[in-house]
């Protein structure tokens, strides 16, 4: 079986959190599906938006085709802080060529759309900047 929790999310988490430059930009604040409420800003988060199994002729799942939102969030009235954070994250995960996961499989990750919007919460401005990434993953046999 190919599961996003076994290949995609561990790769995203390790790739993003183990980078010293990115970790410094967000002061170590990363979030996946569940996070503390509220998460201190700035932070980087990723969430699965959708997933689809790719099934072979035998009926076995041979890969998954997933969309993930990866975005930087900061309390700010400008895009500067989130732009620096997201630029680094994008450089780390935009991988059109296969990335091999030792003992688990391989994947590709390509940005398909930009995510960019301001938010006002209780009179405080936040900026969200990121992308929607198509991540295709397959497991080792």
Domain ranges, ordered by start, for the chain: 8-139
Least confident of 35-39, 84-88, 104-108: 35-39
Count helices and strands (H / E) in the chain.
3, 6
Q: Enter the CATH code of domain 8-139.
A: 3.30.2000.20
Average pLDDT over residues 115-138: 95
pLDDT over 90 at 113, yes or no = yes
**Residue 28 per-residue DSSP state:** T
pLDDT in tens, 4-21: 777 888 889 999 999 999
Model confidence, pTM: 0.89
DSSP β-ladder status, 105-121 and 95-101: antiparallel
Annotate 17-37 with b (16+ C-beta within 10 A) or e (fewer): eebeebbebbeebbbeeeeee
pLDDT in tens, 17-76: 999 999 999 999 999 866 666 678 999 999 999 989 888 888 888 888 999 999 999 999
């Amino acid at each position: 079986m190919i599961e996003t929790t076994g290949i995609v999310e561990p790769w995203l988490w390790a790739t993003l959190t183990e980078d010293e430059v990115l970790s410094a930009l967000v002061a170590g604040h990363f979030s996946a599906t569940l996070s503390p409420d509220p998460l201190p800003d700035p932070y980087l988060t990723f969430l699965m938006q959708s997933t689809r199994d790719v099934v072979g002729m035998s009926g076995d799942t041979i890969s998954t085709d997933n969309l993930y939102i990866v975005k930087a969030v900061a309390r700010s009235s400008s895009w500067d802080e989130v732009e620096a954070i997201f630029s680094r994250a994008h450089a780390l995960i935009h991988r059109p060529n296969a990335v091999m996961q030792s003992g688990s499989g391989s994947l590709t990750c390509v940005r398909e759309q930009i995510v960019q919007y301001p938010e006002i919460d209780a009179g405080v401005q936040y900026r969200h900047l990121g992308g929607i990434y198509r991540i295709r993953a397959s497991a080792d046999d």
